[in-house]
Amino acid sequence: MSSSTELVIILITLAFLSLMLNIDAQTDCSGDFFDLASARNITKCKKLTTLGAEFGWKYNVDNHTKQLQLDIILRASLHNAMGWLAWGVNPGQRPQMVGTRAIIGIRYLNGTSVIKTYNITQYTKIGCPLLPSEISDVNVSNTQVIYSATRYMMTIHASLILPQKDYNFSKLNHVWQVGQSANDVQPLMHATTLQNVDSTETLDLDTGTCVNIGHRRRHLRTVHGILNILGWGILLPIGVIIARYFRVHPFDLEKKKKLWFYLHVSFQSIGYVLGTIGWGIGLWLGHASKYYTFRTHRILAIFIFTFATLQMLAFRLKPKNTDDYRKHWNMYHHFLGYALLATISVNIFQGIAILKPVYTWKWAYVAILGAFGVVTIAFEIYTWIKFRKDIKEKKNQDLKAGAGPPTM
């Protein structure tokens, strides 16, 4: 196995290892939320995977009546003085918006709040108004909404009685959502970010573990991001830096059997392989998503893959040094390479904005770009100084050669 292949395997393994280490564990809720839940005799709670929401519950199965008695409490930030917070259960095969029996608390700008029950149907999905309604198969009582103006935090609490034939305590499909505006008691459309779309899971009320399609997709998005940053965003620029600065200065690798060229090809090839794998994962994620599309990110990604492939073909199809059009080919190759680097940087920032991971992602990549900038400037200065020095030495040598031996 070649060293390049081994390096590719190592980098892919690191990406998936990072994925596993960043899997969202079933983390405990915050202390103040636990106190809020405990005041209502709710002892189980967790941080949900999206929207910064925290969820607490207590359940009891009545085998005589075949009913599931459930007390819930949910808290999330509305991010402003008006908005709504929703939670609901879905008796269907999987957790989703359509079919959900929801409890929604609404906060108005005048400082008042209401909490109502809603049936979310397929008509809601196509834009029909969502208005309060009775829920036939779920008994809802003890509803309460609390709002904290200091942090724009809304908390909703309710008691539910669910028929066991439709709602399994070990596989309860539940959804949660946050919206920014309402028209009287009608919640208006929420945002369509990945955080909003992924706000569903199937929860085991006994153990607190969950199964979540969006949860798995988030991990694939993480792998997609890591591979693209490693491949397109780090290894390809290193390959370009080697090609531009390492032929003569500072290490004169041209004389050592074109060592610079083999290093250039190795970094470009490994970066291309990793980037292509990440691009393929991105295509699959885009195909699997029914509710959202990121057109700009997708178009830029296709542009990057297409023209990066053309650059890779140059290793085999480039003209010889003696060909008349080699100079023009070099100009095309260099211009396209620099254009690709600029596009890659823009699209990585696009991807980070879409994923909305922890801020360290963005600033880590800014630091990487900054390091490339410092290295490039340093090499440019060194190369220019060395170039001027070589010209001066050559002129001195020519002057000495032109003077000839002294006459007698």
pLDDT (tens digit per residue) in 299-357: 999 999 999 998 888 777 777 777 777 788 778 888 888 999 999 999 999 998 887 76
Burial class (CB in 10 A: 0-12, 13-18, 19+), 255: exposed
Radius of gyration of the chain, Cα coordinates, nearest whole angstrom:
30
Under 8 Å between Cβ of 347 and 300: yes
In this prediction, residues 369-380 reach a mean pLDDT of 91
* pLDDT per position as a tens digit, 2-31: 555 555 455 555 555 444 444 343 457 888
Q: How many CA atoms lie within 13 Å of 117's alpha carbon, on the beta-carbon side?
A: 16
Contacts of 368 (CB under 8 A, 6+ apart): 229, 233, 234
Cα–Cα distance measured from residue 406 to residue 281, given in angstroms and rounded to the nearest whole number: 75
**pLDDT for the residue numbered 261:** 83
SS (H, E, C) 4-18: HHHHHHHHHHHHHHH
Of 57-61, 196-200, 284-288, the one with minimum mean pLDDT is 284-288
Cα–Cα distance measured from residue 97 to residue 258, given in angstroms and rounded to the nearest whole number: 60
What is the identity of the amino acid at 35?
D
Alpha helix ranges (H) inside 126-254: 194-197, 213-230, 236-245
The predicted model scores a pTM of: 0.67
Alpha helix ranges (H) inside 289-325: 295-317
In this prediction, residues 82-91 reach a mean pLDDT of 94
213 pLDDT band, cuts 50/70/90, is: low
**pLDDT for the residue numbered 26:** 45
Q: pLDDT > 70: what percent of the chain?
A: 86
Q: Is 54 helix (H, G, I), strand (E, B) or coil?
A: strand
388 pLDDT band, cuts 50/70/90, is: confident
Q: Is the pLDDT of residue 267 over 90?
A: yes
Under 8 Å between Cβ of 107 and 143: no
Closest to 49 (Cα-Cα) out of 258, 357, 269, 406: 357
**pLDDT for the residue numbered 309:** 93
Tally the residues of the chain: 408
**pLDDT for the residue numbered 214:** 63
Angle at 10 between CA 5 and CA 11, to 5 degrees: 100
For residue 59, list its beta bridge partners.
70
